[in-house]
Structure 1
Amino acid sequence: MTLMLAVTPVVLLIILMAFLKMSGDKSSVISLIVTMLIAALGFHLSTANLLYSFLYGALKAVSPILIIIWMAIFSYNVLLKTQKMEVIKQQFSSISTDKSIQVLLLTWGFGGLLEAMAGFGTAVAIPAAILISLGFKPIFSATVSLIANSVATAFGAIGTPVLVLAKETNLDVLQLSSNVVLQLSVLMFLIPFVLLFLTDRKVKSLPKNIFLALLVGGVSFVSQYLAARYMGAESPAIIGSILSIIVIVAYGKLTASKEERAQKSPLRLKEILNAWSVYLLILLLIILTSPLFPNLRSVLESNWITRISLPINDSTVNYTISWLTHAGVLLFIGTFIGGLIQGAKVKDIFNVLWNTAKQLKKTFVTVICLVGLSTVMDASGMIAVIATALAAATGGLYPLFAPVIGCLGTFITGSDTSSNILFGKLQASVAGQINVSPDWLSAANTVGATGGKIISPQSIAIATSAGNQQGKEGEILKAAIPYALVYVAIAGIIVFIFS
């Protein structure tokens, strides 16, 4: 009965969104109310703990998630206002007129780089918005952006998920990082192929799609493994994405027709740099404030800090925001300066900012309710009940299902990092009971979490916001579920075979 109550919020959310096709904001409000009732009546969470856990979740939703979503869409809308998005579209077309190459470059390459640098939704919002501007359908753009935003999340936001996992489990970062890449190895080849196939399903395109997927997957795997093995968690996704972009662009140029190669781009370097100034500045700011520059980051992190303490379950939970290294603030600064460079007036930029907030009002409701829901589930013990039940039910077959627990964590919380905080210790402790390496099973949590990212309601809310498709969350969830299930199944088989 306890297990049935614990899984009710998750099942209810899926039914409302995927099958009843209810909008994300309405689904999340209903699911939150039901979760709070179950927490209070079924798990005896006190009223004070219930309110404080929801408040903690709401704070986590606002920062970093909602601020980053707001600023990511704001950056795109500024490009529309200054009409520089047309220049970016021209440039993508000049690299290759092949739609599949454009999709792979934007979602796997550019999206992977955004995930590696900032995370928290930027890798879904920005590529999806650009794809729509290039003429792709909104639902397709959202779906491929979600599928692509899987593998890279393992080392997203400068390796945060793996660094947190190492801290939670007291395991070696280099070993964990290497295991994560090894467990993701097959998926590094399959996901690029899926993206190419979804864009171009023609049988005659299969050889080209297979070759390009093998090429990009090979570059991603080798570069990420070497970076993970010898450098740690901070750099694999960054290096892998940059090299992928180089390979995809080179392939696009080499396979272009004679007519395309003969055509000289009408764009001058100055125009290109001006059009990309927003994203280039954002990237520069993210790099400068990342752990790659520890001294500068340390100085910035120790100033302009907001701290809030909340009493939950007889302990104090600390909520801290370091504004000077906050990805949302960096997105705003880069966009604001870039907008001025592109000729926008200060008044126009702030008008775009306000209109973007109005555009995202349903997303704000959805994400606050979803993160609040996950925090209430955690505080009441629901998540622990589900994970422990799965571990007990599977026994010696547990490694096969270890990624499922990571997937569940990301589906509920929307974050690979949060999934590792919730279940990292559980995975390591179960490993000790069944004589499997704790490094291997703990890594499986992160790998499963990357699959859960594809169908996380929070990620879907971001994707619908990018294409102004609020209300169609259920349609996107239904389209993405099969890919997430296959993804996690493949991860489970790899973890089981080599455990």
Structure 2
Amino acid sequence: MEWTQVINPLDNLFLSALVAAIPILFMFYALAIARMKGHIAGSITLLLAIGVAVFVHGMPANLAVWSSIYGALYGLFPIGWIVLTAVFLYQLTVKSGQFEIIKDSIAAITDDRRLQALLIAFCFGAFLEGAAGFGTPVAITAGMLVGLGFNPLYAAGLCLIANTAPVAFGGIGIPIITAGAVSGIDAMAISQMVGRQLPFLSVFVPFWLVFIMAGWKGAKEVMPAIMVCGVSFAVAQWFSANYLSPMLPDIISALVSIVAMVLFLRTWKPKNVWRFKDEPPATLQVKKHSFGVIAKAWSPFIVLTILIGDWGLKSVKTLLDVVTIKIPFDAINKVIIAGGKPIEVVYKFNYLSAAGTAILISAIITALILKISFGDFMKTFRETVKSLTFPLITIACVLGFAYVANWSGMTPTLGKAFTVTGALFPLVSPILGWLGVFITGSDTSANALFGKMQAVTATDIGVDPVLTVAANTSGGVAAKMISPQSIAVATAACNLVGKEGDLFRFTVLHSLFFTSIVCVITYLQAYVFTWMIPVYETTKQAAAKLSPEAVAAAEAALRSQGALIMAATAVVVLAIAVYAYKQVGDGKFGKDSAKISVH
């Protein structure tokens, strides 16, 4: 029996929206006020969503349950699979001791505190955000700065502010992938739109970091380095977000900016080496390493970048998708949404073409390069799974809630309510993302909560939905620095537990300032610079233009091209692995790994 989605079930848009917002309001209360654990808050939120869907929107209980199951499965695979494998790869480098070499290679470049903040808090922090995300960047970079002699409060605050630029593409692009999943918009189109918003902020953040530390005079002294850092990062971010994949911008832009800074600082030095007044003595002992040893330490992430780049290509994806397992959700297919047609839901278990699989292969290659035994490899994997069990449950619950809300009519109801803002909605849409990240601590969760609503509202007021969905992500990045979870990670890393209020006051005005910049950018792109919005089409729209024969021929051509690319990649990766394998390393497996807080 078919069921038609109900919008405005109480015949009063304000009341209907208020009831539809109950699960979201509860999640905000549970995380920000009651301080519940993420998996508990997520589970109750999901149950509330099912209750509202069934008893208010009239959705049959079996449809609501199956919708939540589909969302939870999507949360575990491919999204959770990316989280698990990314953190696993990072843990391998930590436990093997190679991550210490990576840290030394960054910290030894300059003694100037302003330039150290750019290299470690901004560039290296962005790299960690892209490779692992979920609290890792602030925890590691803040600890490094304190070890070098930074005031702990300044170190924590600077790293939180620096973490703004890369958050949208963190954890191998999970926020963008999630936004695409819940909004129905191609993730690459969202990536392109975010890549035409955040680079403006990325250019500005390095200057703002130095300005906070040393004022205008101090920033002026190192302006050439600030420009090299910000411009190289922003250009690489724009290019990779628009032409490569939503999974690569953080890693590529971070590597480009690090290399650009290293090369630049070999020929240019500031007139004065700037340090804080009365700064504490350094405790971090920075070692010098040979090029070969440094190359070996970085090789896991170089391999990761190459493989993720391949997996993002349509030809490679088409080749690997041949073995996809498709599971139709016939029960959900009875839901009729706006437009009058039943939805078609098929869960695709594309275990080869999934980005997480590319990361797992990188981890296997890493184990061979670093001579990690099979026993240690599996032990680290088990430890990673154990540490991420509750975070993965949280992700599954949040995605389950998102799909129940989307298909029951709750999200369209909220979207309709926001149309009261009219033409001003693009100006306020980033604030929704900011609010979501402030409460949940995660751009991924904020996109799961508000991604569909942003798309629905934009469509209703005549604005391209990809703009507001992207704005939800871009606006959210500015709240990362003030979310309770981020502040907790930063205070723990800098031994500032009990001074969370001081750190919040340090960052809150910067957060609001950055958010206002994104609001203005979004509004201008909606009505003035509309040419910046990417032209895109859904997979169904593209397929509808071709006959079945033409589609089959195109896929065959893509598979052939993908096979050639994979063969070339294998040669390149083999060469890198052999070179790195032959280098002498000084790390021992089994070192304590950094604690990662996932929300």
Give the TM bin, normalised by the shorter chain: 0.7 to 0.9
| Alpha-carbon distance in structure 2 between the residues aligned to 1:331 and 1:461 | 26
Q: Is the 8 A contact 1:161 1:446 kept in 2?
A: no
| Alpha-carbon distance in structure 1 between the residues aligned to 2:436 and 2:326 | 26
Structure 1 residues 449 and 299: CA distance shift in structure 2, 3 A = same
Deviation at 1:163, TM superposition (A): 9.0
Structure 1 residues 68 and 37: CA distance shift in structure 2, 3 A = same
Deviation at 1:279, TM superposition (A): 1.6
| Alpha-carbon distance in structure 1 between the residues aligned to 2:24 and 2:180 | 28
Q: Does 1:309 align with 2:333?
A: no
Higher helix share: 1
> Helix, strand or coil for the counterpart of 1:148?
coil
| Matching residue within 267, 279, 295 for 2:315 | 295
State the AA in 1 paired with 2:166: N
The aligned counterpart of 1:35 is 49
Deviation at 1:483, TM superposition (A): 5.8
Deviations 1:37-76 (A, max 9, x none): 2222222222111211111111111112222222222122
Structure 1 residues 482 and 386: CA distance shift in structure 2, 3 A = farther
The aligned counterpart of 1:495 is 522
Q: Is the 8 A contact 1:407 1:451 kept in 2?
A: yes
Structure 1 residues 21 and 246: CA distance shift in structure 2, 3 A = same
Deviation at 1:86, TM superposition (A): 1.6
Structure 1 residues 220 and 279: CA distance shift in structure 2, 3 A = closer
Deviations 1:426-484 (A, max 9, x none): 424522xxxxxx45x64243133222256589x99899899999xx9xx7997888766
| Alpha-carbon distance in structure 2 between the residues aligned to 1:177 and 1:197 | 30
> Helix, strand or coil for the counterpart of 1:271?
helix
| Alpha-carbon distance in structure 1 between the residues aligned to 2:36 and 2:174 | 32
Deviations 1:128-176 (A, max 9, x none): 46436636689769845752334557x958997999999959xx97xx9
Structure 1 residues 394 and 208: CA distance shift in structure 2, 3 A = farther
Structure 1 residues 358 and 159: CA distance shift in structure 2, 3 A = closer
The aligned counterpart of 2:292 is 270
Q: Does 1:430 align with 2:461?
A: yes
Deviation at 1:26, TM superposition (A): 2.7
| Alpha-carbon distance in structure 2 between the residues aligned to 1:383 and 1:166 | 10
> Helix, strand or coil for the counterpart of 1:63?
helix
> Helix, strand or coil for the counterpart of 1:22?
coil
| Matching residue within 256, 262, 274 for 1:249 | 262
| Matching residue within 17, 25, 37 for 2:31 | 17
| Matching residue within 314, 328, 342 for 2:356 | 328
| Alpha-carbon distance in structure 1 between the residues aligned to 2:510 and 2:66 | 36
State the AA in 2 paired with 1:33: L
Q: Is the 8 A contact 2:443 2:477 kept in 1?
A: no
The aligned counterpart of 1:350 is 378
Deviation at 1:203, TM superposition (A): 7.7
Structure 2 unmatched ranges of 5 or more: 1-14, 147-151, 275-285, 336-342, 528-599
| Matching residue within 446, 451, 464 for 2:475 | 451
Deviation at 1:349, TM superposition (A): 0.8
Q: Which moved more, 1:202-211 or 1:374-383?
A: 202-211
TM-score, normalisation: structure 1:
0.75
Larger Rg: 2
Q: Is the 8 A contact 2:244 2:312 kept in 1?
A: no
TM-score, normalisation: structure 2:
0.64
Deviation at 1:9, TM superposition (A): 2.0
The aligned counterpart of 1:435 is none
Root-mean-square deviation over aligned CA pairs: 4.7
| Number of residues of Structure 1 aligned to a counterpart in Structure 2 | 469
Deviation at 1:91, TM superposition (A): 0.8
Structure 1 residues 31 and 177: CA distance shift in structure 2, 3 A = closer
The aligned counterpart of 2:102 is 88
Deviation at 1:31, TM superposition (A): 2.4
| Alpha-carbon distance in structure 2 between the residues aligned to 1:257 and 1:196 | 16
State the AA in 2 paired with 1:298: T
Q: Which moved more, 1:181-190 or 1:360-369?
A: 181-190
The aligned counterpart of 1:122 is 132
Structure 1 residues 135 and 286: CA distance shift in structure 2, 3 A = same
Structure 1 residues 65 and 268: CA distance shift in structure 2, 3 A = same
Structure 1 residues 83 and 177: CA distance shift in structure 2, 3 A = closer
Deviation at 1:127, TM superposition (A): 3.5
Deviations 1:96-153 (A, max 9, x none): 34566455445654565687xxx6x834465446436636689769845752334557
State the AA in 2 paired with 1:42: V
Structure 1 residues 168 and 348: CA distance shift in structure 2, 3 A = closer
| Alpha-carbon distance in structure 1 between the residues aligned to 2:54 and 2:504 | 31
The aligned counterpart of 1:149 is 166
Structure 1 unmatched ranges of 5 or more: 432-437
State the AA in 2 paired with 1:308: I
Q: Is the 8 A contact 1:189 1:218 kept in 2?
A: yes
> Helix, strand or coil for the counterpart of 1:21?
coil
Deviations 1:251-304 (A, max 9, x none): 5543379999xxx9731222112212322221221123221xx4333212223x
